[in-house]
Amino acid sequence: MKARVLDAGYGAVVLVAALAVYFAGGGDDSVQQVANDPFWYPKVLLVLIGVCSVWLLVKSALGRSGTPPSSIQWRALAATAIISGAYLLAYEALGFVPSTLALMLVMSGVLGFRRPLWLVVISVLFTAVIWYGFADLLNRTPPGPALPSLSALFQ
């Protein structure tokens, strides 16, 4: 199968899945401040996934696709969509830290990253950097269990 067709297929499927999870995901219709809306960060991730999907569709339409894989990996594609939806639900129930750690570990395993030490190190560092970026730089503490403040760690 041509890379152009695969890019269009992946882009369309992931865009539809991201839109479905975005609109069917949790949250209420009341206006909330970002700090009080537990669905804000997962929805930002879904928007970024949607932007990447549109990029794949445009790349395919312009004929700038690279070397194609042997076939569409439907299992990985379906697993990615299901895991993203589960993340949105877990984010509300468990909070940012446990759900993001689980997302990073599970998604990396599903997509073929098989180095356990690096997997754990990258997952923990990514979660911590995002947490501290929101909590200390933006003064918006994500929901769920909190990590210690950076200022408390270095006193």
What is the secondary structure of 90-105 as a DSSP string? HHHHH-HHHHHHHHHH
Q: Which long-range contacts (CB under 8 A, 24 or more apart) does 100-108 make?
A: 100/126, 100/127, 100/130, 101/127, 107/80, 107/83
| pLDDT for the residue numbered 21 | 76
| pLDDT for the residue numbered 122 | 93
Q: What is the rounded CA–CA span in Å between residue 22 and residue 25?
A: 5
Listed as ranges, residues in the chain with pLDDT below 50 are: none
Tell me the helix, strand and coil percentages in the chain, rounded to 5.
70, 0, 30
Boundaries of domain holding 58: 3-153
Tell me: the pLDDT tens digits for 115-144?
889 999 999 999 999 888 888 877 777 888
Q: What is the rounded CA–CA span in Å between residue 28 and residue 44?
A: 16
Q: Which two tokens stand for residue 37?
A: 């809306």
- Structural domains counted in the chain: 1
Q: What is the rounded CA–CA span in Å between residue 42 and residue 88?
A: 6
| pLDDT for the residue numbered 118 | 92
What is the secondary structure of 16-58 as a DSSP string? HHHHHHHHHSS--SS---GGG-TTHHHHHHHHHHHHHHHHHHH
| pLDDT for the residue numbered 120 | 93
Q: What is the rounded CA–CA span in Å between residue 79 and residue 70?
A: 19
